[in-house]
Amino acid sequence: MSVVMKRILLFPVFIFAVVAICHAQKMSEVFAEAPHDVLPLMTRNNRLDCIDFIENNMEARVKDKFDNDVVLEEMTDDYLRLATSEVSSMEMKLVKTTIAGADRDSSMIVVYVAETCMGPAADTQVKVYDSTWNLISIVSRPEVEAFVRTDAVLSPDERFSLLAEAKILTLIKGSLSKEDNTLTWELQTSEFTRDTKKAADKCLQPVVVRL
């Protein structure tokens, strides 16, 4: 087979792949096609029902494989928030990102997925997928020191106790914004000792990261 014939035969396949990727740019479509390892307890029918309910201004509540309630609380074209259980939740955000190339830059849509568990304080892991649900990366969380305001007035003992406890009990909540392409991290303090929590209340700040 000639090189020209190969190119002619491969061209429709390439076009189909591009169309498929470009088509799946809306959150409802990306959510519907989420694989088992992203939402292991929700069937595709569960997700389609949630989408149908919320698009018709109904409560988007379904039963998962263990007969527990799952609620799609909010969904826009590029964002959703899902209560996966009484002690866990998930957010998704579609973000257009630029890829530097040798000749010219290109762009693609990626999916940020923030999974939060309460145990008892909130703790979040954020992963990044491409629009066909291939895992790209796991987002690094800020170091404990990043949450302490630079102008915070702490005694040496307060600072030492705060950083020591925070590094042992490193529980960090991450929240994806529905308004813009940002991720906000908040260091959780509910498990700190009373004195350390008092110091934390005086000096901690959220860390906002642009996606």
Q: Are strands 106-118 and 88-99 parallel, antiparallel or unpaired?
A: antiparallel
Of the candidates 110, 139, 168, which is a domain's last residue?
139
Q: Are strands 172-176 and 61-63 parallel, antiparallel or unpaired?
A: unpaired
Cβ(110)–Cβ(104) under 8 Å?
A: no
What pLDDT score does 11 carry? Answer: 42
Token duo for residue 165? 């406890």
Q: Which residues contact 40 (CB under 8 A, 6 or more apart)?
A: none
- Out of 3-7, 33-37, 190-194, pick the least confident: 3-7
Of the candidates 87, 109, 139, which is a domain's last residue?
139
Percent of the chain with pLDDT over 90: 74
Whether 47 and 98 map to the same domain: the answer is yes
Using one digit for the tens of pLDDT, what is the confidence trace for 131-148? 899 999 999 999 999 999
More confident residue, 1 or 114: 114
What pLDDT score does 1 carry? Answer: 54
Whether 101 and 48 map to the same domain: the answer is yes
- Out of 15-19, 26-30, 189-193, pick the least confident: 15-19
Of the candidates 139, 172, 192, which is a domain's last residue?
139
More confident residue, 128 or 5: 128
Boundaries of domain holding 89? 1-139
- What is the full DSSP assignment across 88-138? EEEEEEEEEEEE--SS--EEEEEEEEEEEEESSSEEEEEEEEETT--EEEE
Q: Which residues contact 139 (CB under 8 A, 6 or more apart)?
A: 112, 126, 127, 128, 174, 183, 209
Instruction: Please count the structural domains in the chain.
Output: 2
Whether 19 and 123 map to the same domain: the answer is yes
pLDDT band at 8 (very low <50, low <70, confident <90, very high): very low
Whether 122 and 87 map to the same domain: the answer is yes
More confident residue, 127 or 5: 127
Token duo for residue 13? 């396949």
Over residues 43-48, the mean pLDDT reads 97
Whether 86 and 102 map to the same domain: the answer is yes
pTM over 0.75: yes
